[in-house]
Amino acid sequence: MNIDSVKLKSLEKLAEQIRKDSIWMSTRAGTGHLGPALSISDIIAVLYGEIMKYNPKNPSWPDRDRFILSKGHGCLALYSALAQCGYFDRALLKEFCNRLDTMLPGHPERKLPGVEANTGSLGHGIAIGMGMAMAGKLANKDYRVFVITGDGELQEGSNWEAAMAAAHHKLDNLVVIVDRNKLQLGDFTENISQLEPLAKKWDSFGWAVKVIDGHNIKEITDVLSSIPLTRGKPSAIIASTIKSKGLKFAENKVEWHYKVLTEQQYKEIKDELSLEELAYE
């Protein structure tokens, strides 16, 4: 796909705003998984800004593409995208984790318009997506199902059961995007449970596989615009990313899996990144 410069700039701006919102929400709340949200911001921007078909005024539209954030702890990025795309007023973002019954908890829940499934980082998203993709095939619908999974999450066996079933049923309307930032809660993934050779694993399970730069908007758009990668096969996109992308002092550091800025740190970078005032109410 030859994406024009105007559209490219628009997607870059969307990704930038997702990062700004994620930093603002998490600092304001004093909690949240900031690093996992920043690593997927570019991918989320392309999905919602260019690739997926959806109707914010009718979130249950039967012909919509489905999106599952299997790594639900990265929900800051999803909340920002949903707000920017019109699912709800952006003013709601200030309610992130601010009370027990918030519409924007630390992991997404279906009570929020645009959220398709309650997720954590439990290895469930691919199986949920597979079920949705199979339902689409049985109903002769042409919608696609996109799932973003963490790389550490792939250590859960349920993912590979779902991957095996999806290939068996030739679900070429299913796309799994692996956020390959190489870090998980306690360490680098390869120190906890080796994933490599990851592309070969997906290939051996019968999936079409592509490795991309998960921060290159054009490359992400080009690949996702050519789905399915192979007719009759589900697609696995391994996106090489950097945890906490956009915060130089936090990038590629394991402690930023579940860590947020202090108010002082926020003030120090506020002007550099053109961030909003924290504005507590």
Q: What values do phi and psi take at 59, rounded to 5?
A: -60, -20
Mean pLDDT, all residues of the chain: 97
- Structure-token pair, residue 111: 């009570």
**Predicted TM-score of the model (pTM):** 0.97
Q: By 3-state DSSP, what share of the chain in percent is helix, strand and coil, each rounded to 5?
A: 45, 10, 45
DSSP 120-188: -SSS-HHHHHHHHHHHHHHTT----EEEEEESGGGGSHHHHHHHHHHHHTT-TTEEEEEEE-SB-SSSB
Q: What is the pLDDT of residue 280?
A: 77
Q: What's the DSSP call for residue 13?
A: H
Confidence class of residue 257 from pLDDT cuts 50, 70 and 90? very high
Q: What is the pLDDT of residue 1?
A: 67
Which pLDDT tens digit goes with each residue over 141-179? 999 999 999 999 999 999 999 999 999 999 999 999 999
Domain ranges of the chain: 5-270
In the CATH scheme, what is the code of domain 5-270? 3.40.50.970
Which pLDDT tens digit goes with each residue over 17-46? 999 999 999 999 999 999 999 999 999 999
